[in-house]
C-alpha cells in the first residue's frame, strides 16, 4: 500500500522539490503543498464509510464541541433537535467537577435554547459518586467547592472531617491552604485519596488556571503518595458508567469531542465509535501527533447532519 514505507517522500527534479505524504486514513498520496486538499480527502474518505443512524447513545463533549465559551457552534443545535425528533439518547459530558450538573444544565439550556433533562448532563463528579458507591464508601473528606459538596450530598454521601473513609480531590476553585493542609495530614496518616479528573489546567477567558491535575501534583510532592484512582476523561469511567446505566453496548454509542487525547482516547478505550470535531482544540494533523485515530472527523455539525440525512 505504501511503496516507500514512510510518510514523507521527497522527489527532487532539478530545482524543484516536491513533498508527497501518504495519508493512512484516505490511503492516498497527497502533495504536501496543499494541506487543504489533504484535509478534505481525509475527512471525506473517512466518514462516508460509516453509519450514524444505528447509534443508540450520542455522547457530546461541551466546550469546543457544542459551544466555544458561550457561543453555540454551527449545526450543534440543529443536530440535537434531529436526535430529539428521532428519540435518540444523548448526554453532555464534562470533566469539570467545580460546578453542579444543575449549573451545566442551565448553561446548556441557555446556549442551545433547548430543554435538557438533568440526567442528560454527566460530569466527573457523578463518575466519582458511582465509583464511591461501588466501593461501598459513604464518608469522605472533600477538597472541593460548595457545589461539589452539594452534588455529593444529594446522592447520599457525606462530606466530613470526622473519620472519613477516603479523600476526594476535585476542581476546588475555592481551595485554601487550610484545606490543603488537612488533605496532606489525612494522607500522611494513611488515608487514601482519589481525584475527579486529571486535567492540569482549565482554560478561561483570562488564561489557564490550575485544575485538579495540578492539585494532585502538589499533594504528591508534599506527601510522596499518588492518588489511588483518577476518574474523568480520558479514563473510561464516564462512558462505562453511562453505558451501564442505559444498558447500551459500546458499538451502539458514539462520542463527539474536540480533544484527541481526552475525548477520542476515552471513546477508544471503551470501544465506542469516536468523532473528532475540528471546531475546538485539535487540528487534523494532531491525529499523527497523538497516534490516536478517530473513526470520524467533521468540520462542523452541519457535516454530521448531511451524513445523517444521507443515510435516512
Q: Which 240-259 positions form the footprint of Mg ion (CB under 5 A)?
A: 258
Residue number, nearest CB to Mg ion: 64
Q: Which is nearer to Mg ion, 92 or 241 (CB)?
A: 92
**171 and 96 in contact (C-beta within 8 Å)?**
yes
Residue closer to Mg ion, measured from CB, 94 or 101: 94
Q: How far is the CB of 245 from Mg ion (least distance, A)?
A: 22
Please list every residue from 95 through 154 that binds Mg ion, using CB under 5 A. none
211 binds Mg ion (CB under 5 A): no
Closest CB to Mg ion among residues 242, 264: 264
Size, binding site for Mg ion by CB under 5 A: 4
CA–CA dist 80, 90 (Å, integer): 8
Residues 41-100 that bind Mg ion (CB under 5 A): 61, 63-64
Closer to Mg ion by CB, 172 or 258: give it.
258
**Min CB(13)–Mg ion separation in Å:** 44
Least distance in angstroms from the C-beta of 156 to Mg ion = 30
In the complex, minimum distance from the CB of residue 94 to Mg ion, in angstroms, rounded to a whole number: 8
Closest CA to 120 of 170, 164, 66, 187: 66
Q: Which of 88, 86, 87, 61 is nearest to 76 (CA)?
A: 61
CA distance 219 to 216: 5
Rounded Cα–Cα distance for residues 218 and 242 (Å): 31
Give the residue with the Cβ less far from Mg ion, 23 or 199.
Answer: 199
Residue 134 near residue 62 (C-beta atoms within 8 A): no
Please, what is the end-to-end C-alpha distance for the chain in angstroms? 34
Task: Considering the complex, state which of residue 95 and residue 120 has its C-beta at the smaller distance from Mg ion.
Answer: 95
Q: How far is the CB of 120 from Mg ion (least distance, A)?
A: 17
Least Å distance, CB 57 to Mg ion, is 19
* Interactions with Mg ion, residue window 15-34 (CB under 5 A): none
CB of 304 to Mg ion, least distance (A): 16
Write out the binding residues for Mg ion, residues 150-189 only, by CB under 5 A: none
Binding residues for Mg ion (CB under 5 A):
61, 63-64, 258
Amino acid at each position: 500500500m505504501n511503496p516507500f514505507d514512510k510518510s514523507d517522500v521527497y522527489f527532487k527534479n532539478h530545482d524543484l522539490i516536491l513533498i508527497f505524504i501518504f495519508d493512512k486514513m484516505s490511503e492516498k498520496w497527497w502533495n504536501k503543498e496543499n494541506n487543504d486538499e489533504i484535509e478534505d480527502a481525509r475527512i471525506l474518505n473517512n466518514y462516508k464509510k460509516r453509519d450514524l443512524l444505528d447509534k443508540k447513545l450520542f455522547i457530546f463533549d461541551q466546550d469546543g464541541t457544542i459551544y466555544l465559551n458561550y457561543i453555540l457552534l454551527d449545526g450543534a443545535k440543529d443536530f440535537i433537535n434531529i436526535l430529539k425528533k428521532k428519540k435518540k439518547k444523548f448526554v453532555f459530558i464534562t470533566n469539570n467537577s467545580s460546578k453542579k450538573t444543575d449549573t451545566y444544565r442551565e448553561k446548556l439550556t441557555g446556549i442551545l435554547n433547548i430543554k435538557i433533562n438533568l440526567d442528560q448532563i454527566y460530569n466527573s463528579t457523578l463518575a466519582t459518586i458511582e465509583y464511591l458507591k461501588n466501593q461501598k464508601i459513604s464518608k469522605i473528606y472533600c477538597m472541593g467547592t460548595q457545589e461539589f459538596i452539594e452534588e455529593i450530598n444529594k446522592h447520599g454521601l457525606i462530606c466530613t472531617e470526622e473519620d472519613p473513609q477516603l479523600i476526594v480531590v476535585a476542581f476546588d476553585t475555592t481551595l485554601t491552604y487550610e484545606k490543603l493542609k488537612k488533605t496532606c495530614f489525612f494522607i500522611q496518616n494513611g488515608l487514601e485519596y482519589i481525584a475527579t479528573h486529571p486535567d492540569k489546567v482549565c482554560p478561561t477567558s483570562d488564561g489557564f488556571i490550575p485544575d485538579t491535575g495540578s492539585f494532585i501534583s502538589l499533594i504528591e510532592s508534599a506527601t510522596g503518595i499518588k492518588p489511588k484512582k483518577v476518574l474523568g476523561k480520558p479514563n473510561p469511567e464516564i462512558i462505562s458508567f453511562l453505558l451501564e446505566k442505559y444498558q447500551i453496548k459500546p458499538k451502539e454509542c458514539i462520542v463527539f469531542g474536540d480533544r484527541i487525547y481526552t475525548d477520542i482516547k476515552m471513546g477508544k478505550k471503551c470501544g465506542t465509535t469516536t468523532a473528532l470535531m475540528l471546531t475546538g482544540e485539535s487540528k487534523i494533523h494532531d491525529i499523527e501527533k497523538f497516534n490516536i485515530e478517530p473513526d470520524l472527523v467533521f468540520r462542523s455539525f452541519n457535516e454530521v447532519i448531511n451524513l445523517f440525512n444521507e443515510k435516512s
